[in-house]
Structure 1
Amino acid sequence: MGGVKREKISVTEDSKYIQQHLANERTYLAWIRTAIAIIGVGFLVTNLHYNMKESLSEVVDFIANIIGIASVGLGIITIIIATIVYLKKISSINHQTFISSKVSIITLSVFIILIAVLFGAYFILA
């Protein structure tokens, strides 16, 4: 009989905490989806503004442009922060030194609130 050659599978540091690493990946992907949605909303508002209405005023045009630019910028910042936090969590999970990332959550929340305020100003002035 021809023997089947089997490789010996070694346990890696990551495989000790599979559930935590998979949860970390799901969280990272959720942040990426959020970033894509933020960028999409910025494009949508800017595109609708210029396609649906004639220029109402320079202020409203300016706010629509700021919303678009800020949304793209926030989306990029979200991706960068999510990637940094994801990579830091890999090591902290393996070393069992996990600390939740409050600063990144608060920072992104403040930016989202600022864009929401711009949306409010846009709809009040439009």
Structure 2
Amino acid sequence: MVDDNDDRQKTDRSQQYLANERTFLSWVRTSIAMIGLGFIISKFSLFLTEFRIIIFGYSLESSELNPYQTPSSIDQISNWIGIGTVSLAIVLILFALKNYLSTHKSIKTQTYSPNQKTIYFTTAIIVFLSIIVFVYLVLVPSI
């Protein structure tokens, strides 16, 4: 005899597993987007250097060293912000994997309780990076 209650519990648990996988995949998508953003921020200094060459008319045939051709501290800051964003994305994906595995285990043993540490940590880091970018945009003069 098949117990309907037992079937319902299996269905409920499969929904929990699927929700856990969807959550993990959303963290993966977020991490991939952050890696792309970090790359763009890091390579933005290359765009600024080329823009300076165009604006100030630097010629490759010229033998003099043009201060607008050499990387500035602004370019270095842009590079470090990009590297920091990519590093955060790597940490975030590792955190997501840890959370996925622990949630999977707790669903299996029926001892699941929400863990909000990851949410608080991620929010704090993103706010911190946003403040750094904001200060960078306000304090760094535009060309």
Question: Shorter-chain TM-score: which interval?
Answer: 0.7 to 0.9
% identical aligned pairs: 35
**Which residue of structure 1 aligns with residue 118 of structure 2?**
104
Contact 2:45 2:79 in 1 (8 A): no
Name structure 2 gaps, 5 residues minimum.
Answer: 1-6, 53-67
What does 1:77-92 align with in structure 2 at a 5 Å threshold?
77-92=91-106
Amino acid at match of 2:97: T
Contact 2:44 2:78 in 1 (8 A): no
Residue deviations 1:23-72, cap 9 Å, x none? 000000000000011111111112123213446841x2232122111111
Number of residues paired by the alignment? Answer: 114
Rg larger in 1 or in 2? 2
Query: What TM-score do the two structures reach when normalised by structure 2?
Result: 0.70
**Which residue of structure 2 aligns with residue 47 of structure 1?**
43
Farther-moved stretch of structure 1 (37-46 vs 80-89): 37-46
Contact 1:38 1:75 in 2 (8 A): yes
What does 1:2-81 align with in structure 2 at a 5 Å threshold?
17-53=13-49, 54=52, 57-58=72-73, 60-81=74-95
Amino acid at match of 1:29: L
Query: What TM-score do the two structures reach when normalised by structure 1?
Result: 0.79
Give the superposed CA RMSD. 2.2
Name structure 1 gaps, 5 residues minimum.
Answer: 1-10
